[in-house]
A and B are shown apart, each in its own frame.
Chain A
Amino acid sequence: MKHLRPAIILTLLFVIFTGFGFPAVMYGIGRIPGLKDKADGSLITKDGQVIGSSLIGQNFTKPEYFHPRPSAAGNGYDANNSSGTNLGPTNDKLVNGIHKKLPDGKDDPGNFDGIVDLAKAYRTENGLAADADVPSDAVTRSASGLDPHISPANAYIQADRVAKARKKSVDEVKKLIDDNTDPRFLGVFGDPAVNVLKLNLALDAAK
């Protein structure tokens, strides 16, 4: 078998050069100042403690913070368990949710908020009319479950609530939204997106 030698040796060469060598070279390049913070995961520190990554969404529930999108990663924004719902567009669970009670009166652990439920909660939270149209990103779960962004429209709607809770003017809050909006790449690619963690940090800093 004259093919056996090249097959085995070439496989080993791939293991050495592309399995170990290439990641090691990339790791080395990632140590260069300027790239290092990014290679380490764009971590954000506050008072000497890492509080997260600017790229990874995290959950906020208090009224004085902007809230991210609903999440399907673990129990919500589990950054070690990225996932979407993978529910199809006509799935009743996705649209209307599941609301069951166990015999002892507690909620069934399999319960799930559908888009209709999420829209209702979003309207209540932000004082909108019962049939007001809501931004599509506010009531749908992202692909990764870790989406760090919300749409500017979603942020503007939340601005009133946040301004009230923080006793700030709405204009001041809206300016912070604009400061923390990532624009389209080259003005064309993708959609404008507001980084929720950065925005909330900016709000805290503006105290």
Chain B
Amino acid sequence: MNTLGTIQILLFFVIILALTKPLGLYMKRVFDGERTFLSPILRPIELLFLRVCGVKEDDDQPWTSYAIAMLIFSVAGMLFTYAALRLQGFAPAFLNPQKYGGDQMTPHLAFDTAASFTTNTNWQSYSPEAAINYWSNMVALAIHNWMSAATGLAIAIAMVRGFARKSAKGIGNFWVDTIRGTLYVLLPLSIIAGVAMIASGVPQNFTAPMAVKGLEGAAQTLALGPVASQEVIKMLGTNGGGFFNANSAHPFENPNNFCNLLQIILIFSIPAALTYTFGKMVGNVKQGWAVFGAMSAMFLVGAFVANSAEQGGTDLLTKAHVMTQATATQPGGNMEGKEVRFGIGASTLFATITTDASCGAVNSMHDSYTPIGGLVPMFNILTGEVIFGGVGAGLYGMLMFAVIAVFIAGLMVGRTPEYLGKKIEKFEVQMAMLATLILAASVLGFAALSANTNYATTTDPKASDMYATVNLDPKKQQADIDKLPGNASWNALPNSAYGNPTDTYYGSTRNNLNNNGAHGFSEILYAYASATGNNGSAFAGITANTPHYNVTLALAMLIGRFLMIIPLLAIAGSMARKKIVPMSSGTFPTDTTTFAALLIGVVIIVNVLTYFPALALGPIVEHYQMKELKTQ
């Protein structure tokens, strides 16, 4: 822990605290259909959108209809993106200066990427500079940064309406909520922050990658493009998919500490403010602050732990006589995979925030973090992304835990479980537990699968998990490929599409890893935690651009998004129908610090303990190996 690191964490938290009420109040007015100061400009656009979509503003949907609308909208967007990626080669020349096409976006990669952006995950199995052009970045992918964020907002508001309404059939209209969220919330903030980003140095142009001769004479090719317009919504919508491979660590995506601060504020602003919107809509702002408090406590603990772990460096660095103590002129700590301008403090703060919220942008490489420093992001994702969480997704995830918390409190003290004046009954608890268990099964099931699968590249049983590189020289190609067993292509990287002479057939799914031993297992576990939690960050050493990983990751993302939303909308629908029961001495109050503490306990017990054995095999064992100066 260092002083400046602590001050950065606390100052950032104060800024978020200050934004929560005004932005939360504004969103409440937007989703309740009240007039706002932007209505004179935006209301006509909103009405136009509703008219061309053929949607009636007062058409109140029951939860089933709301869920179907959300699903069809997601399917439409996902199909569009799949097609747009596969056909990227047909984009006009100014949007395709790199001349990339469907070869770089293979069917399994396009499926994975379409699922990834539709579900607000933004996991990227590819390196953007080598695989996608400006068309794909702007049109195929960035539209989901808006659509999936607006969808998340809508679902959260629908869930809140479920608690706020009494004896009601409907929970709002999905189309109206999505359009309002985009026009009134995402758009104005994006314009302001987008201009600020350009002013701080984020490029916005359509220039082709530029070959230059450096000062000392070394050749360099500068990748450019319309970065700012994507960068801003990537943060505000908690999407996280980078324009460049290095994401927000790339100096063009995140040139300085003003921009970095702006980015982390954008990540947390909407998820934090939604807690106030929630409190206001259910008629008791203290309910919202209780949720905010639980989230804040978990955020602050994570931020301090990550900071002190990375500032401490590793025993191996100390042994190599590398300065790990920070001084006024150098950052110290573990600087592998970190940028000098961010140092330890701004890197670990970003890492904590991006994994608390389901953003997944990174300004440092989590794969190179110390074992405990890397455990914090993983832990944050495994809470189910409820520490502020994604836009909308954080609030509805936390409300799911609130349902479980009041149920457990009811069992412990023998009181009838009630939340916000509504009785919590069998159906709600079943749905909440269903969502929790599906997510855990997805993370652990897929991780176990990828830790133990082998697509043999040879018929020799002794060498069955070897990987093979196949030269694509036309003279040699056919003979080499013929030697491979049929299923070897399931774990093959089409390297030749990205300018390399050979394709790689990995064989065992463990051969895709960049690290051995415990850290290698962490790469697999992190991948499926990130996909299921719709985070999108990675222990990025893993080579996931093979059919096996692309397909399983895409499934994990779809499960994590939709099999969580549907049970939650069912809860919302069921709650909306219920009558209000008057407060009695038997009611467990949910607007208190006690409740916030209980909520934290439930999140940790229900979710994180599920994963403890898996974490013990990854970062925890690696920590003790590091202490004994062991390398793998």
Contacts and interface: CB of A to CB of B under 8 A. Distances in A.
Decide whether A and B are members of one complex. yes
A126 B587 CA distance: 71
Interface string B201-232: 11111110110111110101111101011100
A125 interface: no
B327 A153 contact: yes
A184 interface: yes
Given A5-B53, A192-B329, A38 B198 contact: yes
A144 B204 contact: no
A190 B205 contact: no
A69 B338 CA distance: 11
Nearest to A122: B322
Given A90-B517, A115-B317, A143-B339, A96 B631 contact: yes
Contacts of A41: 203, 205, 207, 210, 222, 224, 252
Interface string A50-91: 111101111111100100010001000111111111111111
Interface residues of A, number: 106
A162 interface: no
Interface stretch (B142-150, B292-300, B561-569, B573-581): B142-150
A57 B341 CA distance: 12
Nearest to A4: B72
Contacts, number: 402
Interface in B318-366: 320-324, 327, 329-347, 362-365
Given A38-B201, A58-B218, A91-B519, A84 B249 contact: yes
Nearest to B141: A19
Given A7-B76, A9-B52, A131-B321, A143 B515 contact: no
Interface stretch (A102-110, A134-142, A163-171): A134-142
Nearest to B625: A90
Contacts of B390: none
Interface stretch (B189-197, B267-275, B411-419, B601-609): B189-197
Contacts of A53: 222, 251-252
Nearest to B190: A22
Contacts of B198: 26, 29-30, 35, 38-39
Contacts of B11: 188-189
A89 B314 contact: yes
B323 to A, nearest CB: 5
Contacts of B541: 86-88
A56 B190 CA distance: 25
A96 B632 CA distance: 11
Interface string A170-181: 000000000000
B249 A142 contact: yes
A147 B339 contact: yes
Interface string B620-632: 0010011000111
B8 A115 contact: no
Interface stretch (B27-35, B367-375, B479-487, B589-597): B367-375
A142 B338 contact: yes
B386 to A, nearest CB: 27
Given A26-B194, A80-B223, A88-B519, A139 B322 contact: yes
B369 A89 contact: yes
Contacts of B222: 41, 43, 52-53, 56, 79-80
Contact of A39 (B139, B204, B336, B622): B204
A88 B76 contact: no
Given A79-B221, A131-B321, A193-B341, A145 B252 contact: no
B552 interface: no
Nearest to A195: B341
Which among B68, B329, B340, B371 has the highest number of chain A CB atoms within 10 Å?
B340
Contact of A89 (B260, B362, B368): B368
A119 B318 CA distance: 12
Interface in A182-207: 182, 184-185, 188-193, 197, 200-201, 204
Given A11-B73, A30-B205, A189-B260, A56 B252 contact: yes
B305 interface: no
Contact of A11 (B80, B516, B539): B80
Given A190-B341, A200-B215, A27 B206 contact: yes
A151 interface: yes
Given A87-B368, A149-B339, A189-B8, A79 B321 contact: no
Contacts of B8: 188-189
A85 B322 contact: no
B251 A19 contact: no
A7 B323 contact: no
Given A50-B212, A82-B246, 13 more contacts: A10-B49, A11-B147, A14-B146, A19-B142, A53-B251, A77-B218, A81-B245, A82-B250, A83-B246, A89-B334, A119-B320, A136-B331, A192-B329
16 contacts: A6-B73, A13-B52, A19-B138, A22-B187, A27-B229, A69-B340, A80-B209, A89-B626, A90-B630, A92-B631, A116-B320, A136-B322, A136-B330, A182-B341, A185-B257, A190-B341
Interface of B: 4, 7-8, 11, 49, 52-55, 65, 68-69, 72-73, 75-77, 80, 127, 129-130, 138-139, 142-143, 145-147, 175, 178-179, 182, 187, 190-191, 194-195, 198-207, 209-210, 212-216, 218, 220-224, 226, 228-230, 233, 244-246, 249-252, 255-258, 260-261, 313-314, 316-317, 320-324, 327, 329-347, 362-365, 367-371, 374, 514-519, 522, 539-541, 622, 625-626, 630-632
Interface of A: 1, 3-11, 13-15, 18-20, 22-23, 25-27, 29-30, 35, 38-43, 46, 49-53, 55-62, 65, 69, 73, 77-92, 94-96, 115-116, 119, 131-137, 139-154, 156, 182, 184-185, 188-193, 197, 200-201, 204
The 5 closest A-B pairs by CB, nearest first: A191-B343, A86-B541, A190-B257, A143-B249, A185-B257
